[in-house]
Amino acid sequence: MRLHRKSLSDASYGTDLSSLMVWPSVVSRTIPLMDRRAKLRLEMAIWSGLDEIAKKEERPVRDLCQEVDTSRPATMPLTNAIRSYVLDYFRQAEVRQLSNRI
């Protein structure tokens, strides 16, 4: 099998690369925490995941954010901790689902 590599000289210089990358929309929400109100800018996919977790766990989003806030390392921004929380929640749900099939 022969592979063909394109060099930069083969590419059209007029190509609009912006059509290849779609940036996620970012939404701001103000969440009341125990000691302050936090204005959080997160991707819409993260907010949707957090809303879904809140629905499944039958808890308000503010309670989930408060839990994440109190358990995160002091050096980690709250937005990063929330992203990790949402990702970990759905990863664990997938693992549970796969183990139930076995």
Domain contains 2? no
Number of domains in the chain: 1
* For residue 92, pLDDT beyond 60: yes
CA atoms within 13 A on the CB side of 76: 14
> pLDDT of 40-77, one tens digit each?
999 999 999 999 999 999 999 999 999 999 999 999 99
The CATH number of residue 47's host domain is 1.10.3990.20
Q: Domain span at residue 30?
A: 22-101
- Tell the burial category of 86 from Cβ atoms under 10 Å away from its Cβ (0-12, 13-18, 19+): buried
Domain contains 10? no
Domain contains 16? no
User: 3-state DSSP call for residue 95?
Assistant: helix
> pLDDT of 18-39, one tens digit each?
666 677 899 999 999 999 999 9
Domain contains 33? yes
Under the banding of pLDDT at 50, 70 and 90, the label for residue 102 is: confident
